[in-house]
Amino acid sequence: MEKLLEQIKKGTVWAFPGGVHPPQQKSLSNNAPIARLPLPEKLVLPLKQHIGASGKLIVEKNQHVLKGQPLTKPSANWSVPVHAPTSGTIIDITPMPSAHPSALPELSIIIEPDGKDTWCELSPLANPANASHDELVDVIHNAGISGMGGAGFPTYVKADIKQPIEFLIVNAVECEPYITADDTLMREHAAEIIKGIELMQQLLNPTLCIIGIEDNKPEAITAMTEAAKHNEHILIQTVPTVYPSGGEKQLIKLLTNREVPNGGIPADIGILVHNTGTLFAIQQAVYEGKPLIERVVTVTGNTIHNPGNVWALLGTEIKHLLDCQGFSPVPQQRVVMGGPMMGFTLPTVRIGVVKTTNCILAPDHKELAEPGPEKACIRCSACADACPASLLPQQLQWFAKSKEYDKLQEHNLFDCIECGACAYVCPSEIPLVQYYRVAKVEIKEQIAEKIKSDRAKERFDARKARLEQEQAERKNRHKRKPAPKSTEEQQKVADALARVKDKTSDGDNKSAVAAAIARAKAKKQGGELEPDNSEVAKERAARKEQARLYKEQKAQNNGDDEPVDDKKSAVAAAIARAKAKKAAQANEQAQSDDTESESPVATDDKKAAVAAAIARAKAKKAAQANEQAPSDDTVSESPVAADDKKAAVAAAIARAKARKAAQANEQAAADNTASELPDAADDKKAAVAAAIARAKAKKAAADNTASELPDAADDKKAAVAAAIARAKAKKAAQANELAKQSENAEPQGNDESSEGSQQTAQEKKKAAVAAAIARAKAKKQQKEGNDQS
C-alpha cells in the first residue's frame, strides 16, 4: 500500500487496454464562459431522471410552485426527488417523450414559468464541518443529486456506503470529443468543486483523493491545483488523452493500477468515483441549500453559430437551447444528446434536459457523416484491439443477432461500457453498440420476469403452507387436552380399577354390574376411567365356542365330515330360483310357438290374438308359481326354523322341482308339435303318440319320486311341496282345456271345396287325440300330487 501511494504521488500512470484517438473538437466550445439563458416557455420535467425508482408526486395540476420547491418525494430505494427549476404553474402532469433513443413516454410535470424566478425558502447547513454523517447524507438525498457524468446513480447511496474507502477519485477527464462542460466548470468554479470534495472526504474518510484530468485541459489543471493546494490529501493527476480514459474502470486502472472484478463495483476494491458536476451540486446543496435544478450543458456543432456551455434549467426543451445558441439546421439534420461516441440521436427536439445531459451536438454532414449500410464482418479484429474492456465485440455481435443470451452473459456482455470504440474502428460500419444495448435490455427483462415468477412461486408456497396450517388448527381447535391429574386423583383411579378387577371373578352378570358401579364411582371421584371390555370379550368368545361345538356335533350326527355352510345354502337357493325362472321363460317361448303354429288352423286373426294373450298370461302365471315355490322354500329355510342341513335339502328339492317343470314344459311343446304333423292323421298314429306321452310322463314321475327321497324334507315342507304340485296340476289342466276349446273352434267364412272339408276333419281328429293326451297327463299329475300328500 505504501509503495502504491508513493508511485501515485510521484505521478505514475498505468495504461489500460485498447482505446482510440478520435478528433477532439473541443476548441469550438471551451473558449467562452458559461452563459445564462432566458427562461423557456415551458419546462418538461420527467419524474425519473436517474437509476432507481421515481419519486412520489406531491403536487397537482394547476398548482403554483416556487423555484427549488420539491415536486416529488422519495418513495423507495434509490429514489431521489425532483424540484421546480423556476417559479410558475403546473399546467399538466402527463406522459411525455423521454431522453432515450426510443423516446418512450414517461410521466412528466409540465411547468409554465411566471417569469419571476422566485425561490422557495432555502435551508443551508450553518456549520457543515461539524454536521453529522446522517445530516450530510439527508441533505444530499433531499437535494435530488444523482451522478451527472454517467448513468445517474443516486449520490446519497455512494455517500452512505459502509465499506472502507482508500481512494476517492474525481473524474474530471471528460474524454469524449466536443464535450467541455466539466472543463469550463473547473475553470470557473474550482473552489466550489474542492469544497464538495472535502464534504465527501468528511463522509468517507479516504486515504487519498485523486483528481484525474486529461492533459488537453491545461487551464482546468491550473485552476484545480490552485484551489486544492491547502489540502494535502488531494492530488491532481494528469492522464494522457486517450478515449475512453474517462470510463470508471479505465480511470481506476490509470490512476491506481487496480481492476474492478467482473460483475463488481469500485467499492469492492476500496475505491469510489465522483464526477466534478456532482461534487459542485453537493457543495451547492450543503452550503447554499440549493437543490439540483440546473446543470452545465455543452451546445456545439457546425450548425451552431455560438457554440459554448450554458446553464440549462432541468426540463428545458432542446429546441430552446439550440435557438438560443443560433441553430441553422441542414437537410436531414441530426441532433445528438451526448457526444459523438456514446450519444444517441434524438427523435425530437421537444425533449427536456435531464440530470445526465452534458452535451447537445448538432453536426453537419461533413462533421458527422451518416453511417453507411452494414456490411459483412471481415474478421479484421480491429474491434477487439480497440475494446477497453478486453471483450470480443465480433463474437458478442453474433450472439446478440442470434439472441443467444446465455452465451452473451458467459462472454461478459455487461462489462461493456458502450463506449463505441469498436464501432468507431469497424471498417464494415457495423453498429456494434446498438446490438449490445438491445441485448442488454432483453436480458434484463428476462431476469426481471424470472425474479417475478420466483417471487410468485414463493408467495404461492407460503400461501399453501399457511392454508394447511390453518386447516390443521381448525381440526385441532376443539380437541382439548385433559388437565393433568394430581397424585391423589391418580391414586383414587388406581384403587377403583383394583376393586373392579377383584369383583370380575364373581360371575358374568355380577362382573358387569360391578364394573359399571366401579366406573360410576371412579367418575364421581373425579377420575377418568377407560372402559373395561374384557368381560364382554370373554362372553363373546364363549358364545362362539358354543356355536362351533354345536356345528361339529351336528355334522357328526349327519355323517358329514364338514358342516354345511349357511352361505353355500343361500347360494344354492339362489341358483335354484334362477333355474326356475329360466324354465318359466322356456315355457313362455313354447306357448308362443304353439300359438304361432296354430294360427293357420284357427284362420281367424282375432281368435288367434285372444289365444296368444291367454297363453302369455298362463305362462306368466306359471313363472310366478315357479318363483313362489323357491321363495316358499327359502322362507322355510330361515335360521330360526331349520338347521344347515335342512336348508341344503330344501335347495335340492327346489332344484328338482325346477328341473321337473322344465321337462314337463318341453314335453308339452313336443306333444303339441307332434299332434300337428300331417303324418299323424289316422287313429293308429294318435295311439302311438299317446303311448309315447304316457311313457315319458311315467319316466318324469319316476325321476320326481327318485329326487324326493324320504329323508329329504320334514312334514311341513312335504305339505308345502304337495300344495304347489296340486296348484301346478290344476293350472296345467286349465291350460289344456283352453287349448282344446281353441282347437275345436270352427272357422267362419264362405263354403270351401271338398278337399278343404277333408283337411278340417283330419284337424279335428288330431285335436281330439291331443286333448285326450293332455287329460291323461293332467290326471296322472293329480294322482302323483295325491300320493305325495
Q: Is residue 465 part of a domain?
A: yes
CA distances from 22 to 31, 177, 344, 386 (A): 20, 7, 17, 12
Q: How many residues does the chain have?
A: 789
Task: Evaluate whether residue 625 is within a structural domain.
Answer: yes
The last residue of one of the domains, among 308, 333, 361, is 361
Is 762 or 266 the better-scoring residue by pLDDT?
Answer: 266
Least confident of 525-539, 548-562, 749-763: 749-763
Instruction: Give strand pairing partners of 105.
Output: 97
Over the stretch 611-632, which tens digit does the pLDDT of each residue have? 555 656 665 665 565 554 444 4
Residue 614 identity: I
d(C-alpha 60, C-alpha 82), whole Å: 14
Residue 380 marked in a binding site: yes
Domain assignment of residue 545, yes or no: no
Quick one: average pLDDT of 291-298?
A: 96
Phi, psi of 164 (to 5 degrees): -70, 135
Terminal CA-CA length for the chain: 131
Is residue 752 a part of any domain in this protein?
no
Q: Cβ(192)–Cβ(151) under 8 Å?
A: no
Q: Residue 422 maps to which CATH number?
A: 1.10.1060.10
CA dist 122 and 32 (Å) reads 31
- Average of per-residue pLDDT across 682-701: 57
pLDDT confidence tier of residue 263, bands split at 50, 70 and 90: confident
Please check whether residue 284 lies inside any domain of the structure: yes
Q: Give the number of other Cβ atoms within 10 Å of residue 306's Cβ.
A: 14
Give the three-state DSSP class for 446: helix
> Which of the four pLDDT bands, split at 50, 70 and 90, describes residue 375?
very high
Residues 157-179 pLDDT 10s: 999 988 899 999 999 999 999 99
604 and 491 in a common domain: no
Instruction: Give tens-digit pLDDT for 248-257.
Output: 999 999 999 9
Three cell numbers, residue 76: 423507495
Beta bridge partners of 214: 239
Query: Is 324 annotated as ligand-binding?
Result: no
* 655 or 73: which leads in pLDDT: 73
Residue 138 lies in a domain: yes
Give the neighbor-by-neighbor strand order of the sheet with 88-97.
43-46, 105-113, 88-97, 64-65
Pairing of strands 359-361, 64-65: unpaired
Residues 511 and 627 in one domain: no
Residues 464 and 523 in one domain: no
* pLDDT, position 477: 75
For 278, other C-beta atoms within 10 Å of its C-beta total 28
Strand pairing report for 105-113 and 167-171: unpaired
Both 510 and 612 in a single domain?
Answer: no
Q: Over the stretch 110-144, which tens digit does the pLDDT of each residue have?
A: 999 999 999 999 999 989 989 999 999 999 999 99
Confidence of residue 558 (pLDDT cuts 50, 70, 90): low
Least confident piece of the model among 6-20, 534-548, 706-720:
706-720
Instruction: Say if residue 681's pLDDT is above 60.
Output: no
pLDDT the model gives residue 541: 81
Report which DSSP code applies to 784: H
Average pLDDT of span 460-471: 92
Quick check: helix, strand or coil at residue 750? coil
Residue 767 pLDDT grade (very low, low, confident, very high; cuts 50, 70, 90): low
Strand order in the sheet with 308-313: 35-36, 308-313, 294-300, 359-361, 336-337, 344-345
**Coil vs helix vs strand at 377:** coil
Q: Give the separation between CA 561 and CA 563, rounded to whole angstroms.
A: 7
Beta bridge partners of 273: 169
- Distance of alpha carbon 97 from alpha carbon 349, whole angstroms: 10
Q: Is 175 annotated as a binding residue?
A: no
**pLDDT in the model for residue 484:** 72
pLDDT tens by residue, 437-455:
999 989 999 998 999 999 9
CA distance 619 to 498: 74
The answer to whether residue 727 is domain-embedded is: yes
Is residue 86 within 8 A of residue 69, CB to CB? The reply is no
pTM of the predicted structure, to 2 decimals: 0.61
How many domains does the chain fold into?
A: 4
The mean pLDDT of 526-549, rounded to a whole number, is 70
Same domain, 693 and 735: yes
Q: Which residue has the higher pLDDT, 202 or 149?
A: 202
| Confidence at residue 568, expressed as pLDDT on a 0 to 100 scale | 62
Whether 401 and 271 map to the same domain: the answer is no
What's the per-residue H, E or C state across 312-325?
EECCEEHHHHHHHC
pLDDT tens across 580-596, in order?
A: 677 667 666 655 554 44
Mean pLDDT to the nearest integer, 343-369: 91
32 and 179, same structural domain?
Answer: yes
Separation of alpha carbons 783 and 761, rounded Å: 33
β partners of residue 36: 311
Residue type, 566: D
705 and 606 in a common domain: yes
* Structural element, H or E, at residue 547: helix 534-558
Q: Give percent above pLDDT 90 in the chain.
A: 50
Query: Residue 113 sits in a domain of what CATH number?
Result: 3.40.50.11540
Q: Provide the residue range defining the domain that includes 453.
A: 373-473
Residues 336 and 388 placed together within one structural domain of the fold? no
Residue 188 placed within a domain: yes
pLDDT in tens, 631-650: 444 333 333 334 455 655 65
**Would you say 377 is a known binding-site residue?**
yes
Q: What is the pLDDT of residue 566?
A: 53
- Is the same domain home to 379 and 250? no
> Are residues 379 and 357 both part of a single domain?
no
Same domain? For 356 and 401 the reply is no
Higher confidence at residue 674 or residue 235? 235
